[in-house]
Amino acid sequence: MTAFPHPTEVLPHREPFLFLDEVTMLDPGVAAEGYWQLTGDEAFFAGHFPGRPTLPGVLQCESIAQLGAYSVLLHAQMVGKLALFGGLDKARFRRQVLPGDRLDLRIDVGRMSARAGKASGRASVNGELACSCELMFVLVDL
């Protein structure tokens, strides 16, 4: 199995806003797979929702976007760039994601230029789709 750089070696995100634990498959600028292991100790579970902790859908989309940024930033032409969210379309949430779940992520990068691009992604738990969305991103110099 090929070991890929830890997300903190590629992304500027840090705790408590890093939602990608490991990348398990990578074709830079094309596709990637990885996961986010939820422990249940994340602070947002206390307020979303008391007595019924649920991973917010927007954080599912953010974890997909972080995997997308990881894939894009490791493309040879993107050295010295920062990927920023440009938009989010067709976000759909199909199941609850609970404390202790492993959120498996997949991103497929579509159109990409030196300044922007589009991708589609999904998140699942135990093979069951939890979230899908289309992302737009812009690339800026660091």
Burial code (b: 16+ CB inside 10 Å, e: under 16) for 56-75 equals ebebbbbbbbbbbbbbbbbb
In whole angstroms, what is the distance from residue 37 CA to residue 22 CA?
A: 9
* Residues recognised as catalytic: 48
